[in-house]
């Protein structure tokens, strides 16, 4: 299986995480941010992640990919799913964007490997949230706005090995968002979140992204 992806993409990391937990080989194929041609040829539109299965067919929805991966052999994500976690993940994705989007281009990631790719990302995201330099000056405010959400998550975590005590799709929802948030210098995870984050990354064999 091949996964066409961006290194910073939390939806892409869902799929990578699932494959790692299942012990399945997944070939990561980093795509330049401006390589719309490759993505469109594979999926008919510009989208990531794209999972190309061994039979050559492409899948487009990250959670569908997770389900497909989990169906290979004995199911692993058998634990309960809680609406509170799903709600948290949706809200956290919105809260972390002003903190993470301006920082990703500074991390030396493969999707920004050319000037054209970097400019393409910057132009796309600035249209959505504004000038990166200005947003970075308000980092402390955005961290303060995120903290109540992290406090809520800290109270929901049952174990460092699984959000709800047993691995579930809720883990797939949460860990990629924490990996994204962890790039922000000055943002400190609360104790249960930190233990969960470190334990799960070690379990799947991934290092955190650089901090800036």
**Tens digits of residue pLDDT in 154-186:** 999 999 999 999 999 999 999 999 999 999 999
Q: Please, where are the H alpha helices in 130-210?
A: 132-136, 139-156, 169-181, 191-204
**Average confidence score pLDDT of the chain:** 97
Residue 88 binned pLDDT confidence (cut-offs 50, 70, 90): very high
CATH architecture of 83-204: Up-down Bundle (1.20)
2-70 adopts what CATH topology? Answer: Glutaredoxin (3.40.30)
Radius of gyration of the chain (CA): 17
Give per-residue pLDDT as tens, 18-30.
Answer: 999 999 999 999 9
Specify the pLDDT at position 50.
Answer: 98
Q: Residue 96: what pLDDT?
A: 97
Query: Phi, psi (5° rounding) for residue 28?
Result: -75, 130
Please check whether the two domains, 2-70 and 83-204, share a CATH topology: no
pTM, rounded to two decimals? 0.96
Q: What percent of the chain has pLDDT over 90?
A: 100
How far apart, in whole angstroms, are the C-alpha atoms of residue 159 and residue 167? Answer: 10
Read off the tokens for 182.
Answer: 């962890």
DSSP character string of 12-71: HHHHHHHHHHHT---EEEE--TT-HHHHHHHHSSS-S-EEE-TTS-EE--HHHHHHHHHT
> What confidence tens digit (pLDDT) does each residue in 99-151 have?
999 999 999 999 999 999 999 999 999 999 999 999 999 999 999 999 999 99
pLDDT, position 71: 97
Which whole number is the average pLDDT over 175-200? 98
* CB-based contact 197:175 (threshold 8 Å): yes
pLDDT digits (tens, 9 = 90+) for 53-78: 999 999 999 999 999 999 999 999 99
**Domain boundaries, given as residue ranges, for the chain:** 2-70, 83-204
Of the pLDDT bands very low, low, confident and very high (cuts 50, 70, 90), residue 81 is: very high
């Amino acid at each position: 299986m091949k996964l066409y992806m961006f290194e910073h993409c939390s939806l892409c990391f869902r799929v990578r995480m699932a494959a790692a937990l299942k012990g399945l080989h997944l070939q990561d194929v980093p795509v330049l941010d401006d390589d719309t041609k490759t993505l469109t040829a594979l999926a008919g539109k510009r989208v990531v992640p794209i999972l190309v299965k061994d039979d050559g067919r492409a899948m487009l929805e990250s959670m569908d990919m997770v389900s497909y991966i989990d169906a290979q052999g004995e199911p692993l994500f058998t634990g309960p799913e809680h609406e509170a976690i799903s709600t948290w993940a949706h809200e956290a994705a919105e809260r972390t964007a002003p903190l993470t989007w301006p920082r990703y281009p500074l991390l030396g990631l493969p999707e920004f490997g050319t000037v054209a790719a970097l400019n393409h990302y910057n132009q796309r995201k600035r249209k959505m949230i504004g000038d990166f330099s200005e947003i970075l000056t308000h980092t402390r405010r955005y961290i303060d706005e995120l903290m109540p959400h992290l406090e809520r998550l800290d109270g929901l975590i049952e174990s460092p090995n699984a959000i709800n005590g047993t691995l579930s799709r809720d883990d797939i929802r949460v860990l990629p968002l924490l990996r994204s948030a962890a790039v922000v210098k000055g943002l400190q995870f609360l104790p249960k979140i930190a233990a969960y984050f470190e334990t799960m990354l070690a379990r799947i064999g991934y290092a955190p992204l650089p901090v800036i």
